[in-house]
Amino acid sequence: MSIDETKQFVPLNIAVLTISDTRSLADDKSGATLADRLTAAGHRLAAREVIVDDVDAIRVIIKRWIADPGVDAIITTGGTGFTGRDVTPEAVEPLFEKRMDGFSIAFHMLSHAKIGTSTVQSRATAGVAGATFIFCLPGSPGACRDAWDGILAPQLDYRTRPCNFVEIMPRLDEHLRRPKAQGASA
């Protein structure tokens, strides 16, 4: 992986959602970590909210941001564990049009190098919905830092080679724009 310095950086509008029964914006270290890192990288913080671990409440916000043309990507933090209140994957994965299985694999590889087998306690996930990238991270600042630095920062940078998410963004909704081929079945 490398940065092509001949290309210009393309800032994205990224929304951050912290999912927690115990945090507020004032004491949300994970959301702050993501907001600080994405803005330091040159992206714009499109929105930032904190919501309780509730499937319906999470979906309301995620659906609003998916429908908002001013949001290119969504990063959630929290609710990816196994306790009874951890419901982020249950809330968000049904909204995916396409799952990004490689994100979870890459996250767990990166995490394993830092915390060993404890990485299996995370259900980090990602996908695409409504031409919006969605990444669901664990609720620890360390996991957010690792995911941003090791995966999201390079993949959300148009200059990253051999490929990145930004260069495919214009094609994420082509299935909605392209008429069905003659003779194609459902």
Task: Tell me which DSSP letter residue 165 carries.
Answer: S
Residue among 165, 180, 143 at smallest CA distance from 43:
165
When pLDDT is cut at 50, 70 and 90, the band that residue 179 belongs to is low
- Say what the pLDDT of residue 174 is: 81
* Mean pLDDT score across all residues of the chain: 94
| Sign of the four-CA dihedral 67, 137, 96, 130 | positive
Give tens-digit pLDDT for 101-116: 999 999 999 999 999 9
pLDDT, greater one: 164 or 182: 164
Find the Cα–Cα–Cα–Cα dihedral 146, 107, 160, 66, rounded to 10°: -100
Domain boundaries, the chain: 11-171
CATH of 11-171, picked from 3.40.980.10, 3.40.50.80, 3.40.50.300, 3.30.1960.10, is 3.40.980.10
**For 57-76, what is the mean pLDDT?**
97
**For 3-9, what is the mean pLDDT?**
95
- Say what the pLDDT of residue 177 is: 66
When pLDDT is cut at 50, 70 and 90, the band that residue 139 belongs to is very high
> How far is Cα 29 from Cα 11, in angstroms, rounded to an integer?
23
> How far is Cα 163 from Cα 171, in angstroms, rounded to an integer?
14
When pLDDT is cut at 50, 70 and 90, the band that residue 184 belongs to is very low
**For 66-78, what is the mean pLDDT?**
97
pTM of the model: 0.93
User: E strands along 98-186, which residues?
Assistant: 98-99, 125-129, 132-137, 160-161
Least confident of 9-13, 81-85, 177-181: 177-181
pLDDT, greater one: 32 or 186: 32
- Say what the pLDDT of residue 183 is: 46
Residue 35 pLDDT exceeds 60: yes
Residue 181 pLDDT exceeds 60: no
Burial of residue 141, with CB atoms counted within 10 A of its CB: 0-12 exposed, 13-18 middle, 19 or more buried:
middle
From residue 132, alpha-carbon distances to 2, 86, 106 in Å are 24, 23, 20
> How far is Cα 120 from Cα 143, in angstroms, rounded to an integer?
13
> How far is Cα 51 from Cα 64, in angstroms, rounded to an integer?
14
